[in-house]
Structure 1
Amino acid sequence: MRPSPPAPPSLLLPLAAALLAGLALWPAVGLHPLWWWAWLAPVPLLCLAYGAGTHQARGLTMLAAGIGVSVNAPYFALLMPLPAVGLTLVAQTLAWVFVVGASRRLVVRYQAWWTVLAYPVLWTGLDTLEAAVLPDGNWGSLAYAQVAFLPALQLTSVLGVAGLLFVVALVPATLALALTYGRQLRQGWRAYLLTGLVTGGTLAYGTSRLQNAPAPSGPATTFGLVAIDEGISARTPAVTRATIEQQYARHVAALAAQGAQVIVLPEKIASLPPAQALALQRQLSHLAARQHVWLASGVVEETAPAGRNLLWLFAPTGARVATYQKHYLAPPERGLAVGQAYQVRQVAGATTGLAICKDMHFAALGRAYGQRQVAAMLVPAWDFGADRYLAAGMTAVRGVENGYLVVRASRDGLLTVSDAYGRCLGEQVSAPLPGRTLLVRARVGPPLATAYTHLGNGLGWLCVAGGVGLLLLGRRARRPVPSIGSQPAD
């Protein structure tokens, strides 16, 4: 009697592991990420990939990554049509497949301590390229999950987001190697020592920077922030429009009575054709003069052939002293014209820059203002509710990178003021009519000089070059080290 062939190995366990690895990513890559979990979340996925055969590892990584990035699918559906949502999720999944797969190739093939660098170098290099070429930049980078962890966040003042992402990725890469290979990893102690030194050095630097931060100097300025979630358009009923305009005027008057010198309103408080926009401009001018305050407000002029997303800045005299046009457009506004110029003015005695919402998600723009030695940024914004903490956090990072105060007033988001160390000086959630306000008094001294402002994203581009080298090294024909032959060959 012929013996029956052995049963094929069950895929149930690997599939369950992929499901759990994908779910483990949710708290790290979602819209309100947990900073401490971002240091651990990739570990199950990396262990899964390192311990499987080549083809199985690729399939399981794709499944786990797809599950992980799906956490943001409802949010993407608010911004873009369903086909674009699908393409975005596929692109994010493939990014994980690429980084994890290329890291696995090096780890399995060479099984040496230095392969711990593959995962952080490749992620940092890819993140740098995304920030430079994609219309949404490196939105969702794991580095932004560290906004609430101030000791780690201080590293951005030296190495930018790239440096922070490198450290955050180095820790799970090391843990995955330790769990997969243990003592079998050749000279593994070097990998563990390197990670300990880099992580410890990062936290020691950040803690020291926070503890030794000099007392704020310069004149004390009182900032008022106002947000009403409803906006005005040409189709808004006259009664509703009048209510919104009157409520903004009441809030500005109330904040001025409490001592506010600079008041920031949100992005797109109105989207109007030129004649109506001009009428609104006159109202805001009179309001600034009547209350004797600096007043910044966002508005869209629906001009032909393309509208403009603008920030108007009015002096206490009522004069419009600056008009800034948004540089980086969100998906729903891609039909608008793109701005190019930077605007810097003396506001309440401080050198102040102007930007709108998504502009501050891009390190290049934040650094451009740092090079112009601004002490504060006024940022009208409009978020999408669910992303309020992530959007405000990304903006606060620009202040740490370049050493300036950030004042951000958002519809469907947060009213926030953060300092040059990322410390939140005030926060309030926006609301529908009658809206919400925030009053914060802060000293706005000279900008805090940072290495990042002077040096830029050198580490990021070094990781791009290093990543190319690692990819070429991974293509070399070399078998795994015999002493760990139990690991799957590549």
Structure 2
Amino acid sequence: MSDLKPVSKALLAGGALFAGICWYLSFSLSAHLWWPLWVAPIPIVYFSLRLTGKWAFLLAFAGYLIGRLSWVPYLLSIMPLPLVLLFTLLLPLIFALQVAAARKLMLTYSHWSTVFAFPVLVTTVEYICFLTTRDGTAGSIAYTQCNFLPVVQVASLTGIQGITFLATFIPAAIALIIYRYQQKQLIGTLCFVTMGVFVAAMVWGIVRLNQTPPAAKSLQVGMATIDERAYHKEYPTGEDKDLYLANLYLARVGTLVKQGAEVVVLPEKMFTVRDNRRPGFIQQLKDTAMAHQVSIVACVSQQKGDYYENRAWVIGKEGTLLADYQKVYLFEGEVLDSVKPGKEPGLFLWKGAPQGVAICKDMDFQQYIRRYGRAACNVLFVPAWDFEQDGWMHSRMAIMRSVEGGFGIVRNARQGRLTINDYCGRVLYEANGDNGAPVMLTGSIDIQHHSTLYNQWGDWFSILNALASLACLVLLVIARLVK
């Protein structure tokens, strides 16, 4: 298989540990490091080329398992132990199979183009998960790159799948270059292609980040959360609690207006509205909006008989109900709590321009949020509710949708992050409410839509990868038959 000396067990163990630590740091919900993801696969792919298929599989599984342990404390806080174990073990198993398949192709066909096998397989599996799982894009490794803004711009062309491809292609290419060089094989074309792909991505990202957009009107926005402990106080009745919480939130509207806010965005599930009390609460919001001459985005849990709806009301400063949006994508807890999903995006006109409202988990589904981009949405307002530990990650997942769709986002999350970002994914303003403390944030955002290739062509890149994956599988079958 190779003219090189066998790899010592100590070196293999060190390589797996090094890769695992890099993945652990990349996947961490608190470290926010983008670069370890580009380093982690190098020793795994390189050693796989020097090992038997069984040992390559075990090495990849062990390294990736170490990395996935980063999420275990968070997963234990939101799901039962059996599901945590399944999630933690399944991802390394899939990854190891991808490494084993890529290794087989690279060694069997010995052509420089086989370097694409690993990124193509990883990207395709992610895409299938996006389309088939209840969590949408939540498991994508692309979100680890949110602080690497030049690479983030690739999402405007390909969706986040292009980022996943890049972050697996470059390390796989480096590993193959090292191996082929040691084997005294030609590496010129492989080096040229690797540099070409990386430079093209960087140039696109830098140009997009530094382009001067047309002049646009700016919008002053404000956001507020209340002390989370207010939800756990004792109240004579449920209706007293709802009214108390509503008043706490609306009391902050005036403060935000004094700081210049033209639109106030409040978080998800501020309180529960019984169906018979809906008109009264909407009127209270309208009165507040007219009194302060401000638009308000308020998100409530609306009880309708034996089920609930998660709704976001957009109230104009004239007291008009501009949008009554029903959350489309629900997390598992909402399904168990008899929450019914909506069907249509929350689009409305404000100052003569298309704007949008979506709620929390809606932002995990790129095909759905693409509907806002195709409608030329300028600003998307997002009430949300995070799980304390995932505040940074979940806010950045939403931010990726703005890069894909070409619009700015104003997102207010209970027990999470309050963020205002532009169409390039730059965080313009941010406040941390992960611990449930009361937070207020004001800032400005341009009212402007930027056309993107992803809006126009959708999942073209993912489909291309899926076709390439089929070709890889055919080549694997052929290799097995002629063995």
TM-score (norm 1): 0.89
What is the alpha-carbon distance in structure 2 between the residues aligned to residue 81 and residue 363 of structure 1?
Answer: 27
CA pair 279-234 structure 1, distance change in 2 beyond 3 A: farther
Distance 2:281 2:49 in 1: 61
> What is the match of residue 41 of structure 1?
40
Q: Which moved more, 1:193-202 or 1:300-309?
A: 300-309
- CA drift of 1:196 comes to 0.3
Alpha-carbon distance in 2 for matches of 1:355, 1:122? 32
User: What is the aligned length?
Assistant: 471
Which structure ranks higher in relative contact order (CA pairs < 8 Å, sequence separation ≥ 6)?
Answer: 1
- Contact between 2:388 and 2:435, CA under 8 Å: does it hold in 1? no
Deviation readout 1:372-427 (Å, 9 max, x if unpaired): 11111000011112111111111111111121111101111111111111122211
Which amino acid counterpart does residue 152 of structure 1 have in structure 2? V
Segment drifting more, 278-287 vs 39-48:
278-287
DSSP 3-state at the match of 2:478: coil
The alpha-carbon deviation at position 246 of structure 1 amounts to 3.5
Instruction: Name the residue aligned to 1:325.
Output: 326
1:32-71 → structure 2 map (5 Å cutoff): 32=30, 33-71=32-70
Mapping 1:14-29, distance limit 5 Å: 14-29=12-27
Note closer, same or farther for the CA distance 1:431–1:43 as it changes in structure 2 (3 Å cut).
Answer: closer
2:375 — aligned with what? 372
Question: Which stretch of the first structure deviates more once superposed, 138-147 or 289-298?
Answer: 138-147
Give the equivalent residue in structure 1 for 2:4.
Answer: none
> Structure 2 vs 1, CA of residues 337 and 172 (structure 1 numbering), >3 Å: closer, same or farther?
same
Partner Cα separation in structure 2 for residue 337 and residue 263 of structure 1: 26
Are residue 118 (structure 1) and residue 117 (structure 2) matched? yes
Q: Which residue of 1 aligns with 2:464?
A: 462
Aligned mates of 1:209, 1:104 — CA distance in 2: 36
Q: Structure 2 vs 1, CA of residues 381 and 55 (structure 1 numbering), >3 Å: closer, same or farther?
A: same
The equivalent residue for 2:175 is: 176
Q: Deviations over 1:239-275 (max 9, x none)?
A: 8766643332222101112221111001111235434
The residue that corresponds to 2:3 in the other structure is none
Structure 2, unmatched stretches of 5+, are: 1-6
TM-score by length of 2: 0.90
| Change over 3 Å in CA distance of 1:102–1:443 after alignment to 2 | same
The question of 1:85 aligning with 2:79 is answered no
Residue equivalent to 1:406: 409
Measure the CA separation in 2 of the matches of 1:285 and 1:95.
52
SS of the residue corresponding to residue 396 of structure 1 reads helix
Distance 2:17 2:384 in 1: 37
Most deviating of 394-403 and 27-36: 27-36
Q: Give, in whole Å, the separation in 1 of the partners of 2:435 and 2:254.
A: 19
Q: How does 1:292-331 map to 2 (within 5 A)?
A: 292-331=293-332
Q: What is the CA distance between 1:455 and its match in structure 2?
A: 0.7
**CA contact 2:384–2:412 (8 Å) conserved in 1:** yes
The 1:458–1:89 alpha-carbon spacing in structure 2 relative to 1, beyond 3 Å, is: same
Which residue matches 2:395? 392
Query: Residue 129 of structure 1 corresponds to which residue in structure 2?
Result: 128
Name the aligned partner's letter for residue 350 of structure 1.
A
Aligned match of 1:471: 473
- The DSSP-based 3-state class of the residue aligned with 2:160 is helix
Q: Call closer, same or farther: CA 1:163–1:31 in 2, change over 3 Å.
A: same
Q: Does 1:264 align with 2:260?
A: no
How many percent identity over aligned positions? 30
1:142 positional shift: 2.0
User: Is the 2:422–2:446 contact (alpha carbons within 8 Å) kept by the matching residues of 1?
Assistant: no
Q: Distance in 1 between matches of 2:8 and 2:145?
A: 39
1:448/1:459 CA distance change after superposition, 3 Å: same
Residue aligning to 1:253: 254
Distance 1:431 1:162 in 2: 28
